């Protein structure tokens, strides 16, 4: 089992859209896949039309008063399950803070699943937090979507510094560009600059309205727009990512 999280310090950069599409593509490739929606806003759960089984599932999982199996729901799709976001995850930092080994709780919880799934995709809220520490520790890989703007360079550097300061291996972090608009010179310049380091996948996701339509169709691109350019881009990027994961 490989745990993959989609993370950025910033919000609105395409974390959830990417998580929802990658997880679907992994399942379609035949891998047993789980999405854990750890963003209390619950956007990934919304896209998969998934409601939590219990109001306080996240809290109970951390407090070990609930089995992980009881929190997992099936999606409408083969090979793809989800742990939906629930209200208690809003307070997850406080709950984690009470726990022993508070930075390794998520890793401990996920251990129970190691024979059930090939991939676990975690959709994260933006911020450095105890939850983020848990996500970094539990993840084999952290994938960071980056919009190619000047401010994103700073966010990218801050995340790298955070990894270094907290002893999280740099190899765990890989990035990809989202919402790229090649008509804008700033996007071209930022991409050229950031491609110089080896932290970015070659394929990227342009700014395309099809991605936004996931919110209307409540489904991943592969389901409602399989031959769209947006889906072609996500498929190419997933192919590149998968190659690294299966290496
Ligand atoms: N490649 C894209 N092109 C155009 N709009 C996008 C793209 N990726 C995401 N969006 C839109 O941008 C907004 C934020 O995306 P989302 O995936 O929810 O980001 P995050 O999870 O980082 O907050 C959403 O309205 C989404 O539909
Ligand atoms: Mg999100």
Name the residue with the closest Cα to ligand 1, atom 17. Answer: 14
Q: What are the residue ranges spanned by the domains of the chain?
A: 2-146+202-246
- What is residue 138's predicted lDDT score, i.e. its pLDDT? 97
Given this model, what pLDDT does residue 102 score?
Answer: 87
Contacts within 8 Å (CB) and 24+ apart, 90-94: 90/40, 91/59, 92/38, 92/40, 92/58, 92/59, 92/62, 92/130, 92/131, 93/129, 93/130, 93/131
Give the range among 9-23, 60-74, 121-135, 211-225 with minimum mean pLDDT: 60-74
Distances (CA, A) of 16 to 20, 39, 215: 6, 9, 11
Over range 103-130, report the average pLDDT: 93
C-alpha of residue 115 to centroid of ligand 1, in Å:
32
CATH number 3.40.50.300 is the correct assignment for the domain at 2-146+202-246: yes
212 C-alpha to ligand 1 centroid (Å): 6
User: For 212, how many CA atoms within 13 A lie in the half-sphere containing its CB?
Assistant: 6
% of the chain exceeding 70 in pLDDT:
100
Shortest-distance atom of ligand 1 to CA 215: 27
pLDDT tens by residue, 174-220: 999 999 999 999 999 999 999 998 899 999 999 999 999 999 999 99
Residue 91: predicted pLDDT = 86
Residues 138-152 have a mean pLDDT of: 96
Per-residue pLDDT at 94: 85
């Amino acid at each position: 089992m490989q745990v993959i999280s989609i993370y950025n310090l910033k919000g609105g950069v395409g974390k959830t859209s990417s998580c929802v599409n990658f997880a679907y593509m992994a399942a379609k490739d035949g891998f047993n896949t789980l999405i854990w929606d750890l963003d209390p806003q619950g956007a990934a759960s919304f896209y998969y039309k998934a409601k939590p089984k219990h109001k306080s599932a996240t809290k109970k999982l951390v407090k070990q008063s609930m089995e992980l199996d009881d929190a997992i729901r099936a999606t409408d799709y083969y090979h793809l399950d989800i742990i939906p976001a629930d209200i208690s995850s809003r307070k997850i930092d406080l709950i984690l803070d009470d726990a022993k080994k508070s930075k390794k709780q998520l890793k401990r919880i996920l251990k129970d699943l190691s024979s059930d799934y090939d991939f676990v995709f975690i959709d994260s809220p933006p911020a450095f937090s105890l939850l983020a520490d848990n996500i970094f520790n539990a993840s084999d890989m952290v994938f960071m979507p980056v919009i190619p703007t000047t401010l994103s360079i700073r966010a990218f550097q801050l995340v790298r510094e955070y990894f270094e300061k907290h002893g999280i291996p740099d190899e765990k972090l890989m990035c990809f560009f989202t919402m790229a608009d090649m008509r804008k010179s700033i996007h071209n310049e930022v991409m050229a600059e950031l491609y110089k380091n080896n932290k970015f996948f070659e394929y990227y996701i342009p700014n395309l309205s099809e991605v936004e339509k996931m919110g209307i169709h409540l489904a991943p691109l592969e389901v409602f727009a399989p031959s769209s350019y947006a889906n072609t881009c996500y498929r190419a990027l997933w192919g590149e990512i998968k190659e690294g994961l299966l290496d």
